Amino acid sequence: MASITSHSPAETFAHGRALAASLRAGDVLALDGDLGAGKTHFVKGIAAGLGCDGDVTSPTFTLVHEYTGGRLPLFHFDFYRLESEDETLRLGLDDYLGSGGVLVIEWAGKFSALLPRGTRRFRLRAGDGDIREITEEARA
């Protein structure tokens, strides 16, 4: 497990941007952490690093946002409000998995059984003030 400490939202963004350089078509990133842990700032950085168009916002109410125009399309999911695996599948998760883009899923732990082998899992934790710990967990 690799862990990074971020001291500001700008650093969390920068860590996401740096991660984007290593991403390939079909990659799936699972993000978990409490509310306010920095998940969406991290995704904003990933989108910027991929060169995607649009203002990245949390898809808590829309459940999925699509960002294109970059090196790879980014599909940003949020499982927070979903209650069942069936709801998750009705969003078209399987279609997105085969789309050739990068999937980033906030609150992925709610339905981790639906995620493919090789999913990269990140846990974000809030500390004092703006300090965040971003830990990449071992791949399944």
Q: Which domain holds residue 54?
A: 2-137
**How many domains, the chain?**
1
State the CB neighbour count (10 A cutoff) for residue 14: 17
The whole model's pTM is what? Answer: 0.91
Rounded Cα distance, 103 and 100, in Å: 9
**CATH number of the CATH domain containing 19:** 3.40.50.300
Residue 30 to residues 66, 71, 128, 129, Cα–Cα distance (Å): 16, 20, 24, 24
pLDDT digits (tens, 9 = 90+) for 38-51: 999 999 999 999 99
The helix/strand/coil state of 35 is coil
Task: Report the DSSP pairing between strands 64-67 and 28-32.
Answer: unpaired
What confidence tier does 10 reach under pLDDT thresholds 50, 70, 90?
very high
State the CB neighbour count (10 A cutoff) for residue 95: 10
State the CB neighbour count (10 A cutoff) for residue 98: 9
